[in-house]
Structure 1
Amino acid sequence: MTIAPSPAERRTETFAPWGGHADADELAHWTGVARTVADALAVDVVERDRSNALPVAPVALLRTSGLADLVVPTDLGGHGAHWETAFAVARVIARVDASVAQILGYSWLNQACAVFYGTDASHTRDVLARSAAGHWVWSDSFNPISPDLALVADGDRYLLNGRKAFATGAAVADVIVAGAIAEGGRHDGELVVFALDAGRDGIRHLGDWDNIGYRASASGGVEYTDVVVTDADVIGVDRDEPFSSVVTPGVQLLFGNIYLGVAEGALAQAAALTRARPNSWFLSGVDRYADDPITHRLFGELVSRTAAVEALADRLNRRYDEVVARGHATTADQRAAIEIEVARLKVVSTEVGLDVASRVFELTGASSTKSAIALDLHWRNLRTHSLHDPVDYKRIEVGAHFLNGTVQPVSLYT
Structure 2
Amino acid sequence: MTTQTVLRSPWAGHADAAELERWTAVAETVAAELARDAVDRDRAGAAPVAELELLRSSGLVNLLIPRSAGGEGGHWETAFAAVRAVARADASIGQILGYHFLNSACITFYGAQADQEAWYRASAASRWVWADAFNPVDPDLQLVADGEGYRLSGTKHFATGAAAADRLISAAVATGGEHDGELVVFALDARGAGVEHLDNWDHLGQRASASGAVRFTEVAVAAADIIGVDTGEPFSSVVTPGVQLLFGNIYLAIAEGALARARGLTLARKNSWFLSGVETYAQDPVVHRLYGGLVAKTQAVRALADQLNRRYDDVAGLGAAVTAADRAGLEVAVAGLKVVSTEVGLEVASRVFEATGASSTANAVGLDVYWRNIRTHSLHDPVDYKKIEVGANFLNGTVQPVSLYT
1:256 aligns with 2:248: yes
Shift of 1:70: 0.6
Picking from 200, 206, 229, the partner of 2:192 is: 200
Picking from 69, 81, 89, the partner of 1:96 is: 89
SS at the partner of 1:381? helix
Moved over 2 A (4+): 9-15
Long gaps (5+) in structure 1: 1-8
Structure 1 match to 2:355: 363
SS at the partner of 1:153? strand
Shift of 1:377: 0.3
8 A Cα contact 2:3 2:231, kept in partner = no
1:268 aligns with 2:266: no
Once the two structures are superposed, residues 49-93 of structure 1 have per-residue CA deviations (whole angstroms, 9 ceiling, x without a partner) of 101111111000000000011100111111111100000111111
SS at the partner of 1:196? strand
8 A Cα contact 1:193 1:238, kept in partner = yes
Shift of 1:12: 5.4
* CA RMSD, 1 decimal: 1.1
TM, length-normalised to structure 2: 0.98
8 A Cα contact 1:91 1:261, kept in partner = yes
Alignment partners' CA distance in 2, 1:12 and 1:251: 22
Alignment partners' CA distance in 2, 1:196 and 1:385: 26
Alignment partners' CA distance in 2, 1:337 and 1:293: 42
Long gaps (5+) in structure 2: none
TM, length-normalised to structure 1: 0.97
Structure 1 match to 2:282: 290
Once the two structures are superposed, residues 170-194 of structure 1 have per-residue CA deviations (whole angstroms, 9 ceiling, x without a partner) of 0000000000000000000000000
Following superposition of structure 1 onto structure 2, how do residues 15-414 of structure 1 map, counting pairs within 5 Å?
Answer: 15-119=8-112, 121-414=113-406
Once the two structures are superposed, residues 226-263 of structure 1 have per-residue CA deviations (whole angstroms, 9 ceiling, x without a partner) of 00001111111001100000000000000000000000
1:45 partner amino acid? A
Alignment partners' CA distance in 1, 2:78 and 2:266: 32
Once the two structures are superposed, residues 95-154 of structure 1 have per-residue CA deviations (whole angstroms, 9 ceiling, x without a partner) of 1100000000000100000100112x2211100111000000000000001100000001
Alignment partners' CA distance in 2, 1:103 and 1:203: 19
SS at the partner of 1:95? helix
SS at the partner of 1:348? helix
SS at the partner of 1:240? coil
SS at the partner of 2:89? coil
Shift of 1:401: 0.5
8 A Cα contact 1:15 1:124, kept in partner = no
Alignment partners' CA distance in 2, 1:336 and 1:85: 23
Shift of 1:10: 10
Q: 1:167 to 1:408 in 2, by over 3 A?
A: same
SS at the partner of 1:194? strand
SS at the partner of 2:299? helix
Shift of 1:11: 7.7
8 A Cα contact 1:15 1:118, kept in partner = no
1:89 partner amino acid? A
Alignment partners' CA distance in 1, 2:369 and 2:73: 33
Aligned residues: 405
Alignment partners' CA distance in 1, 2:230 and 2:335: 23
Alignment partners' CA distance in 2, 1:34 and 1:17: 22
Alignment partners' CA distance in 2, 1:297 and 1:196: 52
Shift of 1:200: 1.2
1:62 partner amino acid? L
8 A Cα contact 2:62 2:72, kept in partner = yes
1:208 partner amino acid? N
Shift of 1:15: 4.1
Alignment partners' CA distance in 1, 2:133 and 2:7: 24
SS at the partner of 1:402? helix
Once the two structures are superposed, residues 311-358 of structure 1 have per-residue CA deviations (whole angstroms, 9 ceiling, x without a partner) of 000000000000001001111111111000000000000000000000
8 A Cα contact 2:96 2:161, kept in partner = yes
SS at the partner of 1:147? coil
8 A Cα contact 1:34 1:92, kept in partner = yes
Alignment partners' CA distance in 1, 2:394 and 2:219: 46
8 A Cα contact 1:269 1:375, kept in partner = yes
8 A Cα contact 1:14 1:118, kept in partner = no
Shift of 1:399: 0.4
